[in-house]
A and B are shown apart, each in its own frame.
Chain A
Amino acid sequence: MIKRIHPQEVMKALTAVKDAASGRDIVALGCVKGVEIGDGRVSVALEMPPPISVTTPAGQQLLRAVHEAVEALEGGTVEIHVARPPAETAGASGPASAPGARHGSAAADAAGAPPKLAPGVKATIAVASGKGGVGKSTVAANLAVALACAGRSVGLMDTDVYGPSVPILLGAHHEPSVVEGKLEPPVEHGVKIISMGYFLPKDEAVIWRGPMLHKTVQQFLGDVRWGNLDYLVVDMPPGTGDIQLSLCQTAALTGAVIVSTPQDLALTVASKAIAMFQKLNVPILGVVENMSYHVCSECGHREDIFGHGGARAAAERLGFAFLGEIPLDLRIRTESDNGRPVALDGATPQGKAFREVATALEAELAKAQVAEEMVIE
């Protein structure tokens, strides 16, 4: 019986395989170059730790250990591809390649900037609220899809590790894979996605303290092959806690979009999120009013369940752009649960609402002044 397993599980199992010479595990040594799963096969791309060759007994022993570790997961036939290590070009570059100087990064540079995480991303936009349940993830997912439909290259990073919902909203048809030691994000509806939802069995929970959350945010930014993106949309968990702070510290966010329902209670809590972003020098790009009104699908009667226009009024009072209103609508719910975001179809009123928010957001981004990067010498 073949189990459905995850590349991450394979990586985890491989951490048990140690290089006898250094005593370190082969994942930490960077010997695992890739894991692919499919067609009843688990393929592992390996590179031998330097002095060992495949033909030696030590090499054979290592291969056996890898085979056993992967086979124990019962994910299918195990295939191991051994790649030759790249020619020893590193040796020629002298002291810079000494142990500790990782990838010849700026670490050795006394006052230089740290290596930028996700360097190919032009703009990083956080979608946040104070209160939970106002539709942040729905707005973030549809916004990402609407931007992709407008021809932009878009990524969506779901930092809500406690309640990851992006894989459900966009339909998890693909899974992340490991390529050259980094995560290749799956693409759904033209959007590159990463979410804790991919790494967690359905009924498991993330019960973590701050440092683990911080690490996750760093990995989502730095260890994912985002490539060149016009926009990286970040879906945040509710509140003003560890994840929000980590994100604002690790990424120089271009700006934040605040989602709120129209009633006073939600707006009061949203103002806390706004205060946090202002304290951390992240510009507020605008406010989206979700669940703005409800139109009865039977009789067409419109009812303002949470009141109406509260977010627009609040945005105007605080001097932020109002990006648009999204109705409380049965179709948005059903399509979201089916993994087909309504923004895919710009002809429907629901899809149009999200497309308009995306257009308004791009207009705000164009207006927003690009903060000069601080020079450190």
Chain B
Amino acid sequence: MVPAPKKVTLAGENKSVVVSWSDGHRSLYPYAYLREKCPCATCTDAHGTGSRPTARPAAAPGALPMYEDPLKPVKAEAVGRYALSITWSDGHATGIYSFDYLRGLCPCGECGEKAQG
């Protein structure tokens, strides 16, 4: 069985989601990177209609029109025993990050070498 996260910290250091795994590994996922890797059907073009980022909610009245709140995760929930779903500040919430997939995304040097070797 793949290692499972023991602890997920949304507001981790360096604007990252920090995951502590059952095998002791610790992964840091920068927000933009994790959002970019969203595995949902819309983001991966599984619908065949072209992948597209979901629309951002309209800026709050009074804010400068070009101002965008920096992206961050608002909420995360366990999906059964095998995955994590994340709701992002841009309103996107359909991604189900299976533990297996999430571990594969770990950007640390050690995991990267493993993936290449």
Contact = CB atoms under 8 A, between A and B. Distances in A.
Interface stretch (A43-51, A96-104, A189-197, A369-377): A369-377
Contact of A281 (B10, B76, B82): B82
A375 B8 contact: yes
A111 B80 contact: no
Interface size classification for chain B: 20 to 34
A318 B40 CA distance: 32
Interface in A55-105: none
B81 A377 contact: no
Interface string A153-194: 000000000000000000000000000000000000000000
A360 interface: no
A373 B96 CA distance: 18
Q: Is the interface of A mostly helix, strand, loop or mixed?
A: loop
Q: Is the interface of B mostly helix, strand, loop or mixed?
A: strand
Contacts of B81: 248, 252-253, 280-282, 371
A375 B6 contact: yes
Contacts of B77: 113-114, 376
B32 interface: no
A280 B80 contact: yes
Contacts of A248: 80-82
A252 B80 contact: yes
A111 B76 CA distance: 6
B7 interface: yes
A111 B84 CA distance: 12
Contacts, number: 64
B54 interface: no
A228 interface: no
Contacts of B71: none
Contacts of A371: 4, 81
Interface size classification for chain A: 20 to 34
Contacts of B11: 377
Please indicate which of the listed interface residues B4, B8, B78 has the most CB atoms of chain A within 10 Å of its own CB.
B78
A281 B79 contact: no
B41 interface: no
A249 B79 contact: yes
Interface in A338-377: 371-377
Interface in B64-87: 74-84
A280 B78 contact: no
B9 interface: yes
A215 to B, nearest CB: 16
A249 B5 CA distance: 16
Contacts of A334: none
A372 B6 contact: yes
B46 interface: no
A279 interface: yes
B5 to A, nearest CB: 5
A376 B82 contact: no
11 contacts: A110-B74, A110-B75, A248-B82, A252-B81, A253-B80, A280-B81, A371-B4, A371-B81, A372-B22, A374-B8, A376-B77
Given A282-B81, A372-B22, A376-B76, 10 more contacts: A110-B74, A113-B78, A249-B83, A251-B80, A252-B80, A280-B81, A281-B1, A281-B80, A376-B77, A376-B84
Top-7 shortest CB links A-B? A281-B82, A281-B81, A375-B7, A248-B80, A280-B82, A249-B80, A376-B8
